[in-house]
Structure 1
Amino acid sequence: MQVRWLSAFLDFPADVFGSEVTFWRAISGSTVSPPRGDHREFASLEPFYGDPHLRVQRIDDGPGGVHLDIHTDDPHTATAEALALGATLVHDAGTHLTLRSPAGFVFCLVPWEGESKRSRPIRWPGDAISIIDQLCIDIPADGFDAEVGFWTRFTGWPTTPRSRPELIALRRDPAVTLGILLQRKQDVSHDDGPATAHLDIATNSVEDEVARHEDWGARAVEQFPHWTTMADPVGRLYCITSRNPRTGD
């Protein structure tokens, strides 16, 4: 399988869909595409330059979350490869297929439609630069090694260790806006559930970016030397990280 493009899908419950789209549109500096789908439940967050890599979905059940869309030439062939590596099929919708990784993370295989222009980071007032450019998969410790093996073999992308032992990144494709980070969960009390995901923002000024997000109703949850964990207005967690917004490193 060749990964042509990656999209992070934000799944919002219907009762907070409007407010959540407003928040994520604002902090990403995007506009919102016209709705699509049988029930007008899908939309893209359109960047000022480049092809969309952030999309939103209104859901009827559950708290929502973040899932990954992998755009490829032949989703059905890619599905066979994923199943052989330990994934499970959740639903075959014909045009796209929903699967779970060995650790239970939900992802979709969808047809590539020519997406190729990487988004550019935005310079905000005060000279802070930022972009939402990374999906971090949070993996229970007992399934971490198997999950890392699955994603490296399935994508064909080698790993790049980070400064902390619980973090492993897949090598970033310079032609694709979104990168993938794999994180081993440190809280053993949450190790009995499936892998989940959150979004990471790269910025040259974490402090300025945190303040900007707080103006839109987010709150800082926990601060670390190189990133701050945030909660959006309805409590969805994400991170603002000190990384190069242009390269993701």
Structure 2
Amino acid sequence: MQVRWLSAFLDFPADEFGSEVTFWRAIAGSTVSPPRGEHREFASLEPFNGDPHLRVQRVDDGPGGVHLDIHTDDPLAAADEAVGLGATLNHDAGTHVVLRSPAGFVFCLVPWAGESKRSRPIRWPGDAISIIDQLCIDIPAADFDAEVEFWTALTGWPPKPPESRPELVALRRDPAITTGILLQRRQSDPDTPGPEGSSTATGHLDLATNSVPDEVARHEGWGARAIEHHPHWTTMVDPMGRPYCITSRNPRTGD
């Protein structure tokens, strides 16, 4: 399978959809495409430059979350390959295929529609530069090594050289693709509420910026809250409590 493009999909419950789209559109600096789908449940966050790599979906059941769309030439053949690597087939929708990784993370294989232009970061007032450019898959510790092996084999993207934090593995993305994949080992605790207590892999979005404090302040102005501060990133929750991270990385390269 050749990965032609990646889209990070934000899945919002129906009663949160409008306000969540407004928030994420604002912090991404994007416009919203016309709705599409049988029930007008899908839309893209259109960047000012480049092809869309962030998309939104209204869901009728459950709390929503984040999933990944892999755009490729032949989704059905790619699904066979993914299953052979350990994925589980959830649903063949004809136009796309829904699967789960070995650790349970939801992803879709969809037809490539020619997306090829990487989005550029935005310079905000005060000279902060930022872009939402990474999907982090949070993986229970017992499943981490197998999940790294799965995503490396499926995408064909090798891990970058290990850094000082062994619980983080970034895959070396195609330079033409906006969205990168970061794999994070977490210590699962069944008594912990939320994603940290989940027995399956979950996901969140990461934003790259040259100024974490400026970005935190901008996001707080839109109703987000900072919940954890670290030397190189700050963990946020959006107005509805959805976690994401503002990270100190080069917004132009993702490094």
Scaled by the length of structure 2, the TM-score of the pair is 0.96
Question: Displacement of 1:173 after TM fit?
Answer: 1.2
Distance 1:16 1:33 in 2: 18
SS of the residue corresponding to residue 18 of structure 1 reads helix
Partner of 1:178: 179
Is 1:25 aligned to residue 25 of structure 2? Answer: yes
Question: Displacement of 1:187 after TM fit?
Answer: 4.3
Q: Structure 2: which amino acid aligns with 1:173?
A: D
Question: Displacement of 1:172 after TM fit?
Answer: 1.8
Alignment of 1:82-231 (within 5 A): 82-160=82-160, 161-189=162-190, 190=196, 193-231=199-237
Question: Displacement of 1:192 after TM fit?
Answer: 5.2
Counterpart contact for 1:136–1:200, Cα < 8 Å? yes
| Count of aligned pairs | 249
Counterpart contact for 1:105–1:196, Cα < 8 Å? yes
Counterpart contact for 1:137–1:183, Cα < 8 Å? yes
Q: Structure 1: which amino acid aligns with 2:148?
A: V
Q: Structure 1: which amino acid aligns with 2:175?
A: P
Question: Displacement of 1:186 after TM fit?
Answer: 2.8
SS of the residue corresponding to residue 188 of structure 1 reads coil
Give the alignment's Cα RMSD to 1 decimal.
0.8
Partner of 1:81: 81
Q: Structure 1: which amino acid aligns with 2:72?
A: T
Distance 2:89 2:69 in 1: 14
Question: Displacement of 1:163 after TM fit?
Answer: 2.6
Sequence identity of aligned pairs in percent?
A: 82
5+ residue gaps in structure 2? 191-195
Counterpart contact for 1:11–1:57, Cα < 8 Å? yes
Distance 2:163 2:22 in 1: 33
Distance 2:247 2:62 in 1: 28
Per-residue CA deviations over 1:71-127 (Å, capped at 9, x if unaligned) read: 000000000000000000000000100000000000000000000000000000000
